[in-house]
Chain A
Amino acid sequence: MVQAPPAPWIGASLPRVDGISKVTGRARYLDDLPAAGAWHGATVRSDIAHGVLEALDFDPAFDWSSVVVVTAADIAAQGGHNVIRLIQDDQPALVPVGGKVMHAHEPLALVAAPSRALARAAAAAVRPRIQPLPAVLSAKDALAGSVALHGTDNVFKSFLIRKGHREDAELERALASAALVIEGEYTTSPQEQMYIEPQAMMSSWHDGRCHIVGSMQCPYYVHKAMKTLLACKDDEVVISQSVTGGGFGGKEEYPSMIAAHAALLARKAGRAVKLVYDRDEDIAATTKRHPAWIRHRLGVDASGEPVAIDVDVVMDGGAYLTLSQVVLSRGVLHAAGPYRCPVVRVRGRVVATNHPPHGAFRGFGAPQTTFAYERQMDKLARARGEDPLALRKRLALRSGDTTATGQALTFSVGTDAVLAAIERAAGPPPQRAGRSLAGSPLRRGRGVCFYFHGAGFTGSGEARLAGRAAVAVVLPSGAEAASAAPVRFEVRSSSTDIGQGSITMFSQIAAASLGCDPQLVRVIDPTTDKVPDSGPTVASRTCMVVGRVVEQACRTLRGRLEAWRAARGPAAESLSLPEVAAAMARELASDGKELVELVQYEPPPGIVWDDDSYTGSAYPVYGWAACLVDVAVDLDTYEVSVLRCVQAVDVGKAINPVIVRGQIEGGTLQALGWALIENVIYKDGKVANANMTNCIVPTFADAPELETVLVEEPYPYGPGGAKGVGEIPMDGPAAAVANAVEDALGCAFDSLPISPEKIATALRQASARSDGKAGVP
Chain B
Amino acid sequence: MKVTLTLNGQEAAVEVPPWRRLLDVLRDDLSLTGTKEGCGEGECGACTVLLDGEPVNSCLVAAGQCDGRAVTTVEGLATHRRGEEILHAVQRQLVACGGAQCGICTPGIAVCAAHLLERGLGAPGDGANDGASDGAGVGAQAALPLAGKSEAEARAAVRELLAGNICRCTGYQLVVEAVLAAAREVADGDAGATGRPS
* Complex alpha-carbon distance, A13 and B174, angstroms: 13
Are B35's CB and A24's CB within 8 A? no
Are A693's CB and B159's CB within 8 A? no
Are A668's CB and B171's CB within 8 A? yes
**Proximity bits, B34-77, A CB within 8 Å = 1, else 0:** 11111111011010000000000000000000000000011101
Interface of B is mostly: loop
A28 interfacial by beta-carbon distance below 8 Å: yes
* Complex alpha-carbon distance, A450 and B97, angstroms: 29
* Complex alpha-carbon distance, A20 and B100, angstroms: 9
A29 interfacial by beta-carbon distance below 8 Å: yes
Given A20-B95, A498-B102, A693-B43: A245 and B166 interface contact (C-beta under 8 Å): no
Are A23's CB and B106's CB within 8 A? yes
A286 interfacial by beta-carbon distance below 8 Å: no
* Complex alpha-carbon distance, A13 and B32, angstroms: 31
Are B44's CB and A692's CB within 8 A? yes
How far is the CB of A280 from the nearest CB of chain B, in Å? 8
A501 interfacial by beta-carbon distance below 8 Å: yes
**Proximity bits, A500-524, B CB within 8 Å = 1, else 0:** 1100000000000000000000000
- Please report which residues of chain B, range 1-56, place their CB below 8 angstroms from some CB of chain A when the two chains form the complex: 27, 32-41, 43-44, 46
The residue in A16, A19, A193, A194 that gathers the most chain B C-beta atoms within 10 A of its C-beta is A19
B124 interfacial by beta-carbon distance below 8 Å: no
Are B94's CB and A658's CB within 8 A? no
A22 interfacial by beta-carbon distance below 8 Å: yes
The A-B contact count (CB < 8 A) is 173
A670 interfacial by beta-carbon distance below 8 Å: yes
**Proximity bits, A649-672, B CB within 8 Å = 1, else 0:** 000000000110110111111100
Interface hit among A262-270, A473-481, A540-548, A697-705? A697-705
> Which B residues are CB-close (under 8 A) to A245?
36, 102-105
**Proximity bits, A10-47, B CB within 8 Å = 1, else 0:** 00010110111111111111011000000000000000
Are A22's CB and B174's CB within 8 A? no
B101 interfacial by beta-carbon distance below 8 Å: yes
B130 interfacial by beta-carbon distance below 8 Å: no
- Please report which residues of chain B, range 122-159, place their CB below 8 angstroms from some CB of chain A when the two chains form the complex: 155, 158-159
Given A16-B95, A665-B174, A700-B159: A23 and B87 interface contact (C-beta under 8 Å): yes
B78 interfacial by beta-carbon distance below 8 Å: yes
- Please report which residues of chain B, range 165-181, place their CB below 8 angstroms from some CB of chain A when the two chains form the complex: 165-176
How far is the CB of A680 from the nearest CB of chain B, in Å? 15
* Complex alpha-carbon distance, A248 and B102, angstroms: 11
> Which B residues are CB-close (under 8 A) to A693?
41, 43
> Which B residues are CB-close (under 8 A) to A662?
98, 101, 169-171, 174
Given A500-B101, A693-B43: A658 and B38 interface contact (C-beta under 8 Å): no
A253 interfacial by beta-carbon distance below 8 Å: no
Are B95's CB and A15's CB within 8 A? yes
Residue on B nearest A665 in the bound complex, by CB? B171
Are A16's CB and B98's CB within 8 A? yes
Residue on A nearest B179 in the bound complex, by CB? A700
A609 interfacial by beta-carbon distance below 8 Å: no
B120 interfacial by beta-carbon distance below 8 Å: no
The residue in A22, A194, A248, A661 that gathers the most chain B C-beta atoms within 10 A of its C-beta is A22
Are B173's CB and A196's CB within 8 A? no
A317 interfacial by beta-carbon distance below 8 Å: no
A720 interfacial by beta-carbon distance below 8 Å: no
How far is the CB of A328 from the nearest CB of chain B, in Å? 25
Given A22-B106, A279-B41: A194 and B168 interface contact (C-beta under 8 Å): yes
Partner pick for A701 among B33, B101, B160, B175, CB 8 A cutoff: B160
Partner pick for B105 among A26, A196, A501, A705, CB 8 A cutoff: A196
Partner pick for A246 among B32, B78, B104, B172, CB 8 A cutoff: B104
* Complex alpha-carbon distance, A667 and B172, angstroms: 11
* Complex alpha-carbon distance, A278 and B77, angstroms: 28
Nearest 5 interchain pairs by C-beta? A25-B34, A499-B102, A245-B104, A22-B103, A665-B171
Q: A662-B101, A700-B158 are in contact. List 14 more A-B contacts (CB 8 A).
A: A15-B95, A16-B101, A23-B95, A24-B91, A27-B103, A196-B104, A196-B166, A246-B104, A279-B41, A665-B171, A665-B173, A666-B171, A692-B43, A703-B173
List residues of A whose CB falls within 8 A of some B CB.
Answer: 13, 15-16, 18-29, 31-32, 193-198, 243-248, 278-279, 498-501, 658-659, 661-662, 664-670, 691-693, 697, 699-701, 703, 705-706, 708
28 example contacts (A-B, Cβ-Cβ < 8 A) are as follows A16-B95, A18-B103, A21-B103, A23-B74, A24-B91, A25-B107, A29-B104, A193-B168, A196-B44, A196-B104, A196-B105, A196-B167, A196-B168, A197-B102, A243-B103, A245-B103, A245-B104, A279-B40, A499-B101, A500-B101, A658-B174, A659-B98, A662-B98, A662-B101, A666-B101, A666-B170, A700-B162, A706-B172
